[in-house]
Amino acid sequence: MELNRGDNLNLQKDRIMQFLEIRGPSLPVHIATHIKLSPLIASAFLADLLSDKQIKISSLRVGNSPVYFLRGQEFQLDRFANYLSGKEKEIFYLLKENQILQDNKVPPAARVALRNIKDFAFPFEHNGELYWRYIKTSEQMAIEIIEQGKILVQNVPKVQKPREIIAVQEIIAQPVKSAEILEVKQAVERVKEIEPIFEIKEEKAEEKLDLEKPVGIREAEKPKIKRVRKYKTLKIKVKEKPEFVLNVLKLMEENKILVLENEKFKKKDYSAVVSIEGKNYLSIAKEKKAITENDLASAMKLGQKLKLPLAFISTGEPNKKALDLLEYYKGMILFKKIF
């Protein structure tokens, strides 16, 4: 007996849940390999499970990807601690070793790192002081450690100035000789000669000076030099919209779709935030003969970043896998073909 589309999609989600239950926290690429689907399609399934609160997602990133896991598998995330940045990794191991860190006893950089490792460091207050406890240390256990005076916090190394900066500061502190000042002034003058700011134009005039007049008057009668500032003319090119984009806009106008913002286009691609019957959508349009599941999944991923449903427009028809995806997400994707 063949499964219908809905049953098949539910089967794929069940396979993801079973994989996470056995394997523990995993990356989308590992999950996609297991269920034998493209990473984009697997990400769409994971997003659906996440919205239903059947799975959880890490704050930590491995590359650009988060880690997905089931509720109760939080302690297993420390397998990915090596992917933390330098300072965050240093504070992670310090917190793990000491179980507790007092916020005002660590340097500012360490405080920032503690706030960034949200999967492993949890804040709590005791007697008006802010503390951080490791994920495997309960708050009650942390309070008992504080009250028993058993907090043994190692000194967090302070950030040292690079040797280059220290060397520059030593040079600046040294007295400057008059010969060095003269050398700098000469260098500045040479730069000015290379690229003058003003163009100097001299007006033609006959120099007729009365030698009998005082020197000050003779200087005032010398021909004056006018300084004329140069201006560059900026040419602004207006990007013309290709025929495909014009057809998309015509379709939108006919269907009373209003373009709101973020309009971007190329020869065969168009995207914008639009309003359809008072509801905002991310509109993606492509000039292609056939639309694949990857086209839809990548467009959905962009929509998820903006927290908007998708309105997909194309000159071609969706293939079989794309139709399955449209059927499953029919409440989140509007599809329109340009005839």
Domain end, chosen from 115, 147, 179, is at 147
Instruction: Check whether 167 has a pLDDT greater than 80.
Output: no
Average pLDDT estimate for 280-287? 90
Among 79-88, 95-104, 254-263, name the one with the lowest average pLDDT. Answer: 254-263
- CA separation (Å) from 211 to 46, 208, 214, 261, 277? 96, 9, 8, 75, 90
Instruction: Please report, rounded to a whole number, the percentage of residues in the chain having pLDDT higher than 90.
Output: 27
What pLDDT is recorded for position 233?
59
Q: Residue 14 is part of a domain; what is its CATH number?
A: 1.10.10.10
- Provide the CA 36 distance to its chain's centre, in angstroms: 30
Q: Is residue 200 part of a domain?
A: no
Same domain, 55 and 112: no
- Measured from the Cβ of residue 306, the count of other Cβ atoms closer than 10 Å reads 13
Looking at residue 135, the DSSP 8-state letter turns out to be T
Residues facing 314 on adjacent strands: 286, 337
Quick check: is 118 in a domain? yes
Q: What is the pLDDT of residue 169?
A: 47
Tell whether 202 is covered by a domain: no
pLDDT band at 19 (very low <50, low <70, confident <90, very high): very high
Whether 258 and 286 share a structural domain: yes
Same domain, 94 and 58: no
Same structural domain, 50 and 124:
no
Residue that has been written with the tokens 């490792």 in this structure:
117
Which residue did the predictor score with more confidence, 229 or 315? 315
Q: What is the Cα 266 distance to its own chain's centre?
A: 23
Model pTM? Answer: 0.50
- The residue with tokens 């069940």 is 14
State which of 98, 120, 147 marks the end of a domain.
Answer: 147
Residue 94: phi, psi to the nearest 5? -65, -45
Output the domain CATH number for residue 101: 1.10.10
pLDDT value of position 263: 84
> Could you tell me which residues come within 8 angstroms of residue 244 by beta carbon, excluding any fewer than 6 positions away?
267, 268, 270, 285, 287, 315
Residue 248 placed within a domain: yes
Predicted local distance difference test score (pLDDT) of residue 1 = 41
- Do residue 93 and residue 63 come from a single domain? no
Range of the domain at 119: 84-147
The pLDDT tens digits for 105-121 are: 888 888 899 999 999 99
Q: Answer yes or no: is 236 within a domain.
A: no
- Are 333 and 254 in the same domain? yes
* 162: in domain: no
- Same domain, residue pair 102 and 68: no
Find the range with the poorest average confidence among 18-27, 57-66, 153-162, 244-253: 153-162
Angle subtended by helix axes 320-328 and 39-51, to nearest 10: 10
Question: Do 252 and 321 have their domain in common?
Answer: yes
Specify which of 300-304, 316-320, 326-330 reaches the highest per-range mean pLDDT. Answer: 316-320
At 252, the pLDDT band (50, 70, 90 cuts) reads: confident
Asked if residue 320 and residue 253 are part of one domain, the reply reads yes
- What SS3 class is residue 268? coil
Mean pLDDT of the chain: 77
Round to whole Å and give the CA distance between 55 and 70. Answer: 5
- For residue 262, give the CATH number of its domain: 3.40.1350.10
What gap in Å lies between CA 284 and CA 269, rounded to an integer? 8
Whether residue 230 is contained in a domain is answered as no
Residues 52 and 89 in one domain: no
Out of 119-128, 131-140, 256-265, which region has the weakest mean confidence (pLDDT)?
Answer: 256-265
- Torsion, Cα of 133, 134, 136, 137 (10° steps): -30
Burial of 90 (0-12, 13-18, 19+ CB in 10 A): middle
| DSSP state at residue 26 | B
Whole-angstrom distance, CA of residue 311 vs CA of residue 334: 5
Model confidence at 2, in pLDDT bands (50, 70, 90)?
very low
Report residue 36 as tokens.
């034998």
- Predicted pLDDT of residue 187: 54
**pLDDT computed for residue 278 by the predictor:** 81
User: Looking at the 3D structure of the chain, how many domains does it have?
Assistant: 3
Which of 72, 96, 113 finishes a domain? 72
209 domain-assigned:
no
Tell me the per-residue pLDDT of 176-234, one tens digit each, with 9 for 90 and over.
455 555 555 565 555 445 444 444 444 444 444 454 555 554 555 555 555 656 555 55
Residue 32: closest CA among 163, 23, 184: 23
